[in-house]
Structure 1
Amino acid sequence: MAERRTLERDPGMPASSWRLRSDAWEYLRFAVKRLVHTDEPEALGRDSELFRSLRALETIEMYWAGFGQRYVAAIAELLEDGEYQLALERIGRVVQRMRGSSVPDDPREDQLDEAERAEWQDDSDPRPRFEVLVVDETTVADRDALHSEAIRLRAPADSFIYDFVIVPSADDAIAAVLTNPKILACIVRPGFSDRTHQPLSRDLRDTIDLAREAAGLHPDSSKSALASVQRVLGLADTLAALRPELDLYLVAGAHIEDLAGVLTRRFRRVFRREDQLELHLTLLRRISHLYDAPFFSAIQYHARRPVGVFHALPIARGGSVVNSKWIKDLVDFYGLNLLLAETSATSGGLDSLLAPTGAIKKAQDLAARAFGARRSFFVTNGTSTANKIVHQALVSPGDVVLVDRNCHKSHHHAMMLTGARTAYLEAYPLDEFAFYGAVPLSRVKQLLLDYRAAGRLDEVRMITLTNCTFDGIVYDPERVMAECLAIKPDLVFLWDEAWFAFAAFHPVTRRRTAMAAAHRLEQRLKTAAHASAYREQQARLFDEHGAAAPDAVWVEERLIPSPDARIRVYATHSTHKTLTALRQGSMVHVYDQDWVRDAEEPFHEAFMTHTSTSPNYQILASLDLGRRQVELEGFALVQRQLDLASSLSQAIARHPLLRRTFRVLSATELIPPEHRETSRPMPLRDGLATMWRAWDTDEFVVDPSRITVEISRTGVDGDTFKHEHLMDRYGIQVNKTSRNTVLFMTNIGTTRSAIAYLIEVLVKLAERFEDDQAQRDPDIAQARETETPPLPDFSAFADGYDAGDGLPDGDLRTAFFAGQRRGAVEHVQPEELRRRVEAGLRPVSGGFVTPYPPGFPVLVPGQLVTAEILDFMSALDTREIHGYDPARGYRVLKSAVAHAG
């Protein structure tokens, strides 16, 4: 065996493998083209980067179909023999396939072997292509035979084609699914070995070990039949945890009938080796199920049908548009298909969103499969509505709901609509940057314990938290739910994942989604080990008389829920924010063990309450297609998204001019040390293994796709930087700023060119800001920047709206409707309101006051107005404040109303 060597370049850091592979081949083409056209062939020896690329590709190509290690080795031999032109042609073939372009005829085709010639001819096939992982120790001849058989079985009627990636060990299988997002199915043959012989990078090796450890897959050199079955089961569990969208198949020899009963839960089907055609048809059929977009197909069918419209919607079929002389530009701009697809009818297979039985129901079922939910629902008017649906379905007047104060305003409005009593949870403040972090688990637990001590724990119905926050702070939902259920076993959880829908499609980020956490928690509660740990902890938390340990013990200890705790978890997604969907396309995902008994009927009633009877079918179709996309290529898209964000942060940190002007905020600035076990400021920069450890252990982590940049040294505030410099001058759109920060978000549509353009713009702006500062007259005193006051905590509900027993819940609904009566409120200018506060009065807000930014209600109905709130509001430099009229001032309740009750 050849001497094992360590790669000089990382051959497969999962977060950037797509770029590393692409860059390596692109650089090879550049370098070899230079050799073809140079008179100095000795330049080859000086170009160590060329050989580093070749050595990296020797490992990388093992995990991708089509070319493989032999192809890379053949190119290396051609270079050593001085056959630069032929090497360039072979490299060009790879680059063109990776770009998805058609491949021209090879003028040196006579020098290709039979297998390579067959692949060459196959490159021009326009059908969508996926890859199938085969885990088995095979000879070179076996591999060639398998590839040839796959090509032979292809039929012109097949909608898709596939290639094989063949690896000999469990380690290599894990490496393949981590580095190659094109793999959509896996065939396991029990003859594989355990450990790899490839020279992998340290990061990839560490990630493989973490994946094995998480699934309980350990090296086992035993060759017994039982050990072989356990090894197969362990690998299947590991691959399913990493990439749940993968279909797993087992190909075995004798006694497959016996194996089928043991392995059915892990594998979709079990085949004998001779069942090659049946396996081929199964692979294609399964991909067709992922590709199926039933509602989009129904819309397409409807648009092609000749119909007569004798009901509402004149725009349907373009009736009121195509013959108009005044609005024909609507068709020119949007296209005729948009109008052909418009209808108000639910017949013809289009289904009803309010009572789906056909295409919409199937599309929602497919979404549930994709996101790991037990059921999913499409929402066509945004996550604001999705949140209100869940609140109304699960909460009744008088129920206590624990709500993140820094959550979207729709939750506050939902509390008002339902009549539930709101108990606000305070997130830790980041005063230096003028926005909040997240709610520490210790605060949630303490508040639950406070309600238990007051004898009111039975009133607490639900907890609502935002994961991740607008600024990218990510909770550990499994830990939060487990510890809260240890105090109240029937608690319901609503996770607002408006900005986190993409996370379900990456092996690391998925672990912190609500649906994945609910599934893992449900499985954990069923184990004997969990039951034993629960009993041991209960013996510590309660004495022999049943008296509970002090609250400090409950807060400090990591609590274990009862095995009988109920898993009741809801998540809302602004699908349009981070995945492919039209604006306002959202989803509700449900993982509720008590759905039928306690939630199904009220949920459907709430859904009908808030859903239009005329939903936008184009939004529904986009949700259907967005689901198809992420099941087939979500891993690749999210992997690229995270890597591009990392590239942006590193560019700012390394560029001499940019790092003088801007500062990328990391976990060390955004998460207090008591909420982190790991110390790395940006774990993904160190590799996927480091990110995995942080996301596995830390209470809070930072979503690496969000780059918060501190801009104090520019001399302008965030709002000015956003509008006057980024948007007006360069057309760069950003959503969120604070007084001294700007948030850049990558998404699955972000490109390398877009990142390069942003870096170019930031360099130009940095030069401009430095020039402006250099031109300042030193004799003219510069106005000192006003220091932003601390972010205000929630003050309290006023008398009559509060609980009256020292607990924080209050009656938003009564206060809100009191504030809607003209005679019950007065408008007070800030100066007068401050005078009243300083005089010891207790003004009460008559409505919601929500500045954008930061985007959360600073005041809610029934809340006491304090000096801290007025200080914060006066220092805000924002263009938009909902609920505040600058001409009239704040809306406050009159004294008699404020003290009523």
Structure 2
Amino acid sequence: MTTRLAKSNYQAIATPESAWRKRKDAWEHLGYVLSEISSTPVDDAGRRENEQEAGRLLGLLSSIEPYWANPGLEFFNHVAALMSDGHYEDAMRLVYQANQTFRTQTQYFDAEGHDNAAPESAEHGTANGASRQDSARAVPQVEILLVDNGPAEEIERFTEEILEQRQRTDPFHYNFVVVPSVEDALAAIVINPSIQSVVLSARYSLESSRRLSSTLQNFIAGRMNGYFTSRRQIQGLLDLEQILEKLRPELPVYLIAGVALESIAHEITGRFRRIFSRNDRMDLHLSILAEITDRYDTPFFAALQKYAKRPGGVFHALPISRAASVKNSPWARDLVDFYGKNLLLAETSATSGGLDSLLDPQSSIKKAHELAARAFQSHRTYFVTNGTSTANKIVHQSILAPGDIVLVDRNCHKSHHYSLVLAGANVSYLEAYPLNEHSMYGAVPLEEIKGRLLQLRREGLLHKVKMLTLTNCTFDGIIYDPRKVMEECLAIKPDLVFLWDEAWFAFAGFHPIYRQRTGMTAAARMEKRMETDEYRERYAAQAAALPEPGTSSDPSNDGLWLRTRLIPDPETVRLRVYSTQSTHKTLTSLRQGSMIHIYDQDFAARNLNTFREAYMTHTSTSPNYQILASLDIGRRQAELEGYALVQRQVDLAQSIARAVSRNKLLNKYFRILNTADLIPEEYRATRTANPVRDGLAVWDESWQQDELVVDPSRLTLDISRTGVDGDTFKHTYLMDGHSIQVNKTSRSSVLLMTNIGTTRSAAAHLIEVLVKIAESLERQSRIDGRVLAMGTVEGPGKIPLPDFSSFAPEFDGGGGSGNMRAAYYLTYKDPATEFLSSAQIKERIGAGQRVVSAVFVTPYPPGFPVLVPGQVVTMDIMRYMDVLDTREIHGYHPDLGYQVFTNRALREFAEDS
């Protein structure tokens, strides 16, 4: 079946953010309306209203459906024709059939290989379709985009001849969406996430004949800007391929060229997956199948399945292997009942039979790593089975040696702080901007990072600086511009290594707007950009205009370096970028499934051996094979449907935000914080408070220009007007009251996160729960004799967020850095520490005495250390801790107090040093 884009339309094409939802709703609602019409007398007034509604729904679908191959434009036109002729019951049957296909996302083939979703089979009615479907084989269905503006009859013949190559035994089923122009091609790619391959022909126009929505038109215009300036047809095809690669890099792009393929092959080598003549129907068909099969391949999961089906005896570790120790036990067999046999059949400690070794991968795991590297655009990818905490330790240990200086966001996950203790590096903490009103921190401004590097250069310590570690995105959803950060830092320190902690950002690599803010994509684009003549000219101009950096005696030039948008020297810079991701947090994986992605130009020469040793140090010799298999599956799913799932999670988050803002009762007690609330104006080139709300083009512009942005799939719900603190709201109202689970709260907010598993019903349930809570608060206010108006409910109080104070002089490493390892291990000497209460500490500070923390003190939430080993305790820190009502504080002993160094221990350490 082929969908060819029609010339006419009833209205502008829907925005891509909501196209999937509007399309699905329209088809389902159309089925309901047609059933109402079919059961209502002709002269009934309600029937006329339903007929008008059916016409409106047809108009909406006419603007979207041409960009989908299933059920297809012919199918849609057949439904429209039946309705036009008054055959509403027949139309209803077809709409019902289409809705069934949407729900299963599969295609059915009968014994003869006929497609049961085709209009010609559906024409005969539901009974015939159902009987054929009962005996049909279901296979996944995908769609192929064909860009061709040739004669309709010729295109129809071409696609039909390709589709004739399909066989019933093919692992996938596909149909073509045919569009005539570049604009239509980009609209289809953005709107239709079912597209899995693109076929370009040399026959195309630039502009669409259809009326696109303004937000889609502006987005497409922005992406086409700078391209299609040449009149050469082949250059236009190369331009389109480059745009497609940036939007959906996971999609292969094939080229259908004329007869003289050899004459253009040298110009397009490496740009297209393959080039075909129009006579290569079979080869094109096989290439489409082979490429999708390649993405579908899960080598380790397949090996584990095969291993689990093999008979054999167990004469090694793991009594539970093959369920041997539990299947016949009256005391333990409920484990089999709960988890199922397959889990235990696949439980083994073997590294043979195709299973491979995680510590020395040679076959199935090695292949799984390579496929993951392709998916996440890295040079190398490694699986980690005990979380991103371990992934961070591996990367830090592989790069850092004792005495190296590493710049770290103080608010990063505690695993980084402990990693740096183990590595022995000197830590220079960077301060994120505070959001005191909301009791949380933002991100580290680029000026803060550059300023620290320039300070270290003035002090003659830049050669010791090895790494910069930042959290991207933060728990609260604040996202850096990795390309800008890396370019400006590398202009000061050309061999700086970057670790982007993307524990909460694994999904970002599969959406065209999110992707540009990931460490791997930023590194790849930087490398490509720095190879161009245009970039080299820009750098030469900047180098000529920029004075020498400041010195310790004359730091005046550093101000200009801070204000200038720096770019690095392409001759000296080395791109060494690492990203750690918790696959299990935002993609499909069992808990603790994580990945390390590496884009390191010097990996083989400078880090291969140390990385291997660090990996060996922190990776279990008994890794969980189920976690490894789930990582393999998670990668497959991300490549094949990641874009659709990520777009859906954003859309659902925004639907929740709209409900909160538009409902008067919800708006009285709750507010979703927007970009202007979470990111100060000086870090935003654009001024849009909610870029996603204002359309795809505005969202894209903001994410290309702003220093910091906010993840639209994370909603910070301000609850200050409820009079309830965040922790109480989480446990009493959400968890205990309605079984709504959230991870993070602050004093006055609750973080709501959608993910690729969030459903529309879950979003609706959350809104319903918030309404119930608001109604409960409203009733309580009346019982208490208070009628609450907006803004009159006092919050639980604002807590001043303390900055990192400083390291004690005994642990000073220069340039604001400190030797946490020395402080950490000083506690092993007895008696080097003592316990003091908050009152005792404040008394000592008030008397002018110095108090130095001996351990990490980490409240949960917010989850970052307020004190680290060797840090000077200040009055501001103690005031913060005193009013903090967090239930869980690591490193603090309620019965004993805070563990601090004795003055004697500090004095003796200084003497020994």
Alignment of 1:110-509 (within 5 A): 112=123, 125-213=137-225, 216-218=226-228, 222=231, 227-509=232-514
Does the residue aligned with 1:301 lie in a helix, a strand or coil?
Answer: helix
Alignment of 1:552-701 (within 5 A): 552-564=559-571, 565-701=573-709
**Are the aligned partners of 1:318 and 1:339 in contact in 2 as well (CA < 8 Å)?**
yes
- Deviation of the 1:106 alpha carbon: 10
Paired residue for 2:37?
35
Paired residue for 1:710?
718
2-structure distance, mates of 1:460, 1:305:
53
Paired residue for 1:17?
19
**Are the aligned partners of 1:694 and 1:701 in contact in 2 as well (CA < 8 Å)?**
yes
Does the residue aligned with 2:138 lie in a helix, a strand or coil?
Answer: coil
**Are the aligned partners of 2:727 and 2:746 in contact in 1 as well (CA < 8 Å)?**
yes
Compare 590-599 and 785-794 and name the one that shifted more: 785-794
The partner residue of 1:821 within 814, 819, 829 is: 829
**Given the superposition, is the C-alpha separation of residues 362 and 110 from structure 1 closer, same or farther in structure 2, using an over 3 Å criterion?**
closer
Pairing 1:793–2:795 present? no
Does the residue aligned with 1:390 lie in a helix, a strand or coil?
Answer: helix
1-structure distance, mates of 2:407, 2:97:
59
**Are the aligned partners of 1:801 and 1:812 in contact in 2 as well (CA < 8 Å)?**
yes
Paired AA for residue 531 in structure 1: R
- Deviation of the 1:4 alpha carbon: 8.7
**Given the superposition, is the C-alpha separation of residues 543 and 857 from structure 1 closer, same or farther in structure 2, using an over 3 Å criterion?**
closer
**Are the aligned partners of 2:122 and 2:129 in contact in 1 as well (CA < 8 Å)?**
no
- Deviation of the 1:119 alpha carbon: 14
Paired AA for residue 791 in structure 1: L
Paired residue for 1:730?
738
Paired residue for 2:95?
91
The partner residue of 1:865 within 873, 887, 894 is: 873
2-structure distance, mates of 1:838, 1:146:
85
**Given the superposition, is the C-alpha separation of residues 559 and 517 from structure 1 closer, same or farther in structure 2, using an over 3 Å criterion?**
same
2-structure distance, mates of 1:832, 1:55:
74
**Given the superposition, is the C-alpha separation of residues 190 and 122 from structure 1 closer, same or farther in structure 2, using an over 3 Å criterion?**
farther
2-structure distance, mates of 1:877, 1:745:
23
Paired AA for residue 690 in structure 2: M
**Given the superposition, is the C-alpha separation of residues 618 and 275 from structure 1 closer, same or farther in structure 2, using an over 3 Å criterion?**
same
2-structure distance, mates of 1:442, 1:88:
61
1-structure distance, mates of 2:303, 2:413:
35
- Deviation of the 1:108 alpha carbon: 10
Pairing 1:76–2:86 present? no
1-structure distance, mates of 2:836, 2:715:
39
**Given the superposition, is the C-alpha separation of residues 85 and 140 from structure 1 closer, same or farther in structure 2, using an over 3 Å criterion?**
farther
**Given the superposition, is the C-alpha separation of residues 852 and 775 from structure 1 closer, same or farther in structure 2, using an over 3 Å criterion?**
same
2-structure distance, mates of 1:137, 1:492:
48
TM-score by length of 1: 0.94
Does the residue aligned with 2:59 lie in a helix, a strand or coil?
Answer: helix
Alignment of 1:742-757 (within 5 A): 742-757=750-765
Does the residue aligned with 1:684 lie in a helix, a strand or coil?
Answer: coil
1-structure distance, mates of 2:190, 2:692:
15
1-structure distance, mates of 2:264, 2:14:
34
1-structure distance, mates of 2:389, 2:306:
32
- Deviation of the 1:145 alpha carbon: 3.0
1-structure distance, mates of 2:79, 2:567:
57
Paired AA for residue 58 in structure 1: S
2-structure distance, mates of 1:783, 1:431:
18
Paired AA for residue 696 in structure 1: Q
2-structure distance, mates of 1:459, 1:219:
47
Offset from partner CA, 1:154-199 (integer Å, 9 cap, x none) = 2132111111111111111111111111111111111111111112
Paired AA for residue 586 in structure 1: S
Which structure 1 segments of 5+ residues have no match?
none
1-structure distance, mates of 2:159, 2:39:
36
1-structure distance, mates of 2:555, 2:494:
16
Which structure 2 segments of 5+ residues have no match?
111-115
**Given the superposition, is the C-alpha separation of residues 469 and 846 from structure 1 closer, same or farther in structure 2, using an over 3 Å criterion?**
same
**Are the aligned partners of 1:501 and 1:575 in contact in 2 as well (CA < 8 Å)?**
yes
Offset from partner CA, 1:346-405 (integer Å, 9 cap, x none) = 111111111111110100010000000010000000000000000000011100000000
TM-score by length of 2: 0.93
Does the residue aligned with 1:800 lie in a helix, a strand or coil?
Answer: helix
**Are the aligned partners of 1:543 and 1:549 in contact in 2 as well (CA < 8 Å)?**
no
Paired AA for residue 336 in structure 1: K
Compare 530-539 and 891-900 and name the one that shifted more: 891-900
Q: Give the length in aligned residue pairs.
A: 886
Paired AA for residue 590 in structure 1: I
Paired residue for 2:113?
none
The partner residue of 2:894 within 861, 886, 889 is: 886
1-structure distance, mates of 2:708, 2:549:
36
Compare 533-542 and 252-261 and name the one that shifted more: 252-261
1-structure distance, mates of 2:445, 2:388:
24
The partner residue of 1:519 within 505, 519, 524 is: 524
RMSD: 2.6
1-structure distance, mates of 2:658, 2:721:
19
1-structure distance, mates of 2:555, 2:298:
54
**Given the superposition, is the C-alpha separation of residues 560 and 873 from structure 1 closer, same or farther in structure 2, using an over 3 Å criterion?**
same
**Given the superposition, is the C-alpha separation of residues 264 and 53 from structure 1 closer, same or farther in structure 2, using an over 3 Å criterion?**
farther
Compare 137-146 and 296-305 and name the one that shifted more: 137-146
**Given the superposition, is the C-alpha separation of residues 778 and 260 from structure 1 closer, same or farther in structure 2, using an over 3 Å criterion?**
closer
Offset from partner CA, 1:844-871 (integer Å, 9 cap, x none) = 0000000001100000000001110001
Offset from partner CA, 1:598-631 (integer Å, 9 cap, x none) = 1111000100011111111111000011001111
2-structure distance, mates of 1:279, 1:106:
23
- Deviation of the 1:125 alpha carbon: 4.6
- Deviation of the 1:58 alpha carbon: 1.7
- Percent identity, please: 51
- Deviation of the 1:88 alpha carbon: 1.9
